Structure 1
Amino acid sequence: MTERRIRRIRQPILTAAKEHRQKATPAEAHLWEALRGQQMRGVPFRRQHPVERFILDFYCPREKLCVELDGPVHDGQQDYDAARTEALGRLKIRVLRFRNEEVLQDLPSVLRRIEAALDAS
């Protein structure tokens, strides 16, 4: 059987994305409630969306905007995150990063920054 591929996405990435959607962190669930259903200026976002070898926390394909939430695991992987952001940049995808605490403690500020990024496109 051949490996299933969608937009150059391998099956293990698709499976992992599905698992991530089923196990959202509290910060991801909180932000998703504000983004889902085109609540942000009528712009659709996707959650745990695969792009090549990456799974993007939130992605707006129309604006090529990725929103990433960083929890404690990201404290030790700044180099990886920078390389990932650079690789996505080569695909013309802009990346915004927020700490989980920002989303949980000051969601209005996070949403304003996302809106500003949408305005800048």
Structure 2
Amino acid sequence: MRQPVTPSRRGFARSMRADATKAENILWQALRNRQLDGLKFKRQVPLDGYILDFVCFEARLIVEVDGSQHADSQRDIVRDRHFEKQGFGVRRFWNDEVEKNTDAVCLAILQAAKGRG
């Protein structure tokens, strides 16, 4: 599923990995190295002009961790529809949700992934 990515987009994704939010770091610790039921997640992946917080290509599942700036975001709705048309499922969680209840978030991600498999 490799696609050409511009050097500026790749650099932006790298900087986002280096400057992740607390919630993104917490969730990454739970998802990395196939720790969630053997699912392979990648983080801050550039795809189709967007940068995905987390993606599991084998389950075709995108996971986004959002702050308050994403509340009622039309851009996010357009983005989610774009990826749903590509066959991906999209799950969004609030930063606060990840920080306070990581186990429940991971369970929801696992259920979403298994439902797509």
Would you say same fold, with TM above 0.5?
A: yes
User: Aligned partners of 1:80 and 1:91: how far apart in 2?
Assistant: 17
Q: Deviations over 1:66-97 (max 9, x none)?
A: 0001102212x511110000011121111000
Which stretches in structure 1 are left out of the alignment for 5+ residues?
1-5
* 2:41 aligned residue (45, 59, 71): 45
Question: Which of the numbers 22, 29, 33 marks the counterpart of 1:26?
Answer: 22
Say which SS state the counterpart of residue 29 (structure 2) adopts: helix
Q: Residue by residue, what CA displacement relative to the aligned partner does 1:26-59 show, whole Å, maximum 9, x if unpaired? A: 0000000000000011111001011110100000
User: CA-atom RMSD, angstroms?
Assistant: 1.1
Distance 1:57 1:81 in 2: 13
1:108 corresponds to 2:103: yes
Aligned equivalent of 2:70? 74
Distance 1:43 1:15 in 2: 26
Instruction: State the distance in 1 between where 2:18 and 2:9 align.
Output: 14
Q: Residue 37 of structure 2: SS of its match in structure 1?
A: coil
Shift of 1:9: 2.0
Does the Cα contact within 8 Å between 2:59 and 2:114 map onto a contact in 1? no
Q: Does the residue aligned with 2:90 lie in a helix, a strand or coil?
A: strand
Instruction: Select the residue among 37, 47, 50 that pairs with 1:54.
Output: 50
Q: Give the counterpart letter for 1:14 in structure 2.
A: R
TM-score (norm 2): 0.93
2:80 aligned partner: 85
Number of aligned residues: 115
Higher relative CO (Cα under 8 Å, sequence separation at least 6) belongs to 2
